[in-house]
Amino acid sequence: MFNRSLNQKKIISLSAILVTTIYLYIAIIGNNDIYSLTRVLFGKNIGCNLQGINLSEITKPETSLAGADLEYAIFANANMSNSNFTGAFMRHAILSGANLQNSTFKNAVLNDSELVNTDFTGADLSGAHLANADLTGATVTKDQLQQARTLTGATMPDGTKHE
């Protein structure tokens, strides 16, 4: 086998302790996705930068944009069903009329986004930030909305404002 020096053994042990500490930290904050954890720890997004991209009417189901910076992105009338937006930063995004069935928005930031008539059937909105979002006419259940981290100031599907 390998004959490792004392210094190599120490480095391996310290690395194992560091990895274990990170996993414990993830468990403590109740978050199991590395994109959101990275944003929390370092204040930035490690995903791709697609700010302002216009993907209106695109048909691209099962796409992963986890951790992407999609601020001001436009997905109007797009079919992005079964897609992964975990930890995505989507402030001021326009997703009106989009098919987002069975998509994951875990810990995504959708503050100030336009979600009018968007189909969230079966979507995971756990931990999503929806402050001041416009959900007028959106297909979404009360249970899904209760999973969101914040709805402060959001316009609900029935047109009422959330306090």
Pair (65, 25) in one structural domain = no
Pair (66, 6) in one structural domain = no
Pair (113, 97) in one structural domain = yes
- pTM of the prediction? 0.71
Pair (76, 8) in one structural domain = no
Pair (116, 148) in one structural domain = yes
DSSP conformational letter for 43: S
What's the pLDDT at 23?
A: 60
Q: What is the pLDDT of residues 105-158, one digit of tens each?
A: 999 999 999 999 999 999 999 999 999 999 999 999 999 999 999 999 999 999
Pair (76, 141) in one structural domain = yes
Pair (58, 74) in one structural domain = yes
Pair (21, 50) in one structural domain = no
Pair (51, 107) in one structural domain = yes
Pair (10, 53) in one structural domain = no
Q: Average pLDDT for residues 47-70, to the nearest whole number?
A: 87
Total number of domains in the chain = 2
Q: What is the pLDDT of residues 5-49, one digit of tens each?
A: 888 878 888 877 876 676 656 555 554 444 444 444 444 445 678
What's the pLDDT at 25?
A: 61
Closest CA to 95 of 74, 79, 122, 72: 74
CATH number for 131: 2.160.20.80
Closest CA to 59 of 79, 29, 76: 79
Pair (45, 105) in one structural domain = yes
Domain range for 130: 34-163
Closest CA to 93 of 113, 63, 116, 77: 113
Pair (17, 68) in one structural domain = no
What's the pLDDT at 40?
A: 42
* Structure tokens belonging to residue 146: 């209760």
